[in-house]
Structure 1
Amino acid sequence: MRLAWAMAGLVTLAGPAAAHPHIFMETGIEVLRDSEGRVASLRVTWTYDPFFSLVLITERGLDPDGDGTLTAAETAALQGFDMNWEPGFPGDTYAFAGTEALALSGPRDGVARYEGGRIISSHIRDLEQPVAGLLVVKNYDPTYYTEYTIRDLRAEGCATEIIAPDLTEAERALQAALAELPADVDVEMGFPEVGAVFAQEVRVTCPAP
């Protein structure tokens, strides 16, 4: 949700307060390895849903003729639109060496384009310590304002797996968390942090150096 507000602070999305998510993103993850074969970085690509893409493009005064194509100047103006993160914001991407949480750098080498009515944005996150063996990656918004679905996973020379969440259990966890909210709490503003239980889990195992 912090990422959504950073990108479009003036956007108001209609719908019931508890009807999360509001934004739908497709994710691509590419594993980048160092000279020793260890995982050193992740290239994260986000493809925004058509509605939110249109909102963002319109708010920025881009594509005024509505032909779905940005000029070179408009494309330049789009760069970095979702890279202005608050200090300490994890960027909705979480990495683990097995079960041990790994620190990730802030985003670098961000690039964005508008294609087929959707904004596609990518950036690189560096692992504080390169990883050999099992790497686990999750992409989720804790408040589930944004739903991320991993569509593409690339890790050349490594074994990969995408594990789907148990949506029945996730829905139960959501309903239980909502039931615990005090009656005077604005559900939209105080939505429980259940995004992790709805998240896919990426598993990457690279050969030992």
Structure 2
Amino acid sequence: MTGRALLSALSGIGLLCAFLAGPAQAHPHVWVKAKAEILFAPDGRVRAIRHHWSFDEAYSAYITQGLDKNGDGKLTPDELAELAKVNMDSLPEVEFFTIAKINGRKQEFGTPDEAGLVFDNKILTLTYTLPLKNPPPKSRSFGIEIGDPTYFVAFEIVEAPDAVVTRDAPAGCIVRVNRPPKLDDDVAQKLAQEDITATPDMSGYEVTTRALVACP
């Protein structure tokens, strides 16, 4: 599966075609500014990742068309609930654009929960909790990768102190974030000129952000 699945998940019937025919005549098609919280259990093990994904203005505008049921000019969480459910039903197909490793071993995810969407009339933000299925009791090293390797969706971990943080972590745990280098202008131009229905060859390019939580 590729990032197309997220486009399908978020678009709803008809909106995807309208979006791709409009401002998305290039790769990537959607831009996401992301934050992540690493949630620890009382026994010190990592229990979940709390994702916060804010979509670009153009995509947010297209995806929220027709969702204001009462016509008051505002979108409430209730009006966005169905769209949030579509997200959570479809994101497993792309493994939530997330890889998690504990002590170097890839982890499986459980069923996500606490999912919701908010819209501030410009930006649509999806928040949800992604639990680890069987985390080991000791998590000296917890690593995550966030991104779409096919580059249909461009994830950017925000440049902020709370970009990747821990919650209830044991004393002494530290977080390091490694963002991918910016693509060269010629590469970006080439991607912009490609057929929007084609999957770009991103081999040799780093487009995912890595974060590492190291605990004593």
| TM-score w.r.t. length of structure 2 | 0.75
| Alignment partner, residue 32 of structure 1 | 39
Partner SS for 2:60: helix
Counterpart pick for 1:159 among 174, 180, 190: 174
1:119 and 2:118 correspond: no
Query: Unmatched 5+ residue regions in structure 2?
Result: none
- The residue type paired with residue 166 of structure 1 is P
| Displaced runs of 4 or more, over 6 A | none
Query: More deviation in 108-117 or 187-196?
Result: 187-196
1:101 and 2:106 correspond: yes
- Structure 2 CA distance for aligned equivalents of residues 142 and 105 of structure 1: 22
- Structure 2 CA distance for aligned equivalents of residues 111 and 57 of structure 1: 14
Aligned CA RMSD, in angstroms, stands at 3.3
- Structure 2 CA distance for aligned equivalents of residues 162 and 77 of structure 1: 33
| TM-score w.r.t. length of structure 1 | 0.77
Query: More deviation in 148-157 or 137-146?
Result: 148-157
1:149: Cα distance to partner? Answer: 1.0
Which residues in structure 2 correspond to 1:1-209 (within 5 Å)? Answer: 1=3, 2-8=5-11, 10=14, 11-12=16-17, 13=20, 14=22, 19-58=26-65, 60-62=66-68, 67=73, 69-71=74-76, 73-85=78-90, 88-131=93-136, 132-151=139-158, 152-156=163-167, 157=169, 158-167=173-182, 188-192=197-201, 194=203, 197-207=206-216
- Structure 2 CA distance for aligned equivalents of residues 121 and 39 of structure 1: 22
1:62: Cα distance to partner? Answer: 2.5
Q: Identity over aligned residues, as a percent?
A: 22
- The residue type paired with residue 201 of structure 1 is R
1:186: Cα distance to partner? Answer: 6.1
The answer on whether the counterparts of 2:10 and 2:83 sit within 8 Å (CA) in structure 1 is no
Aligned length: 196
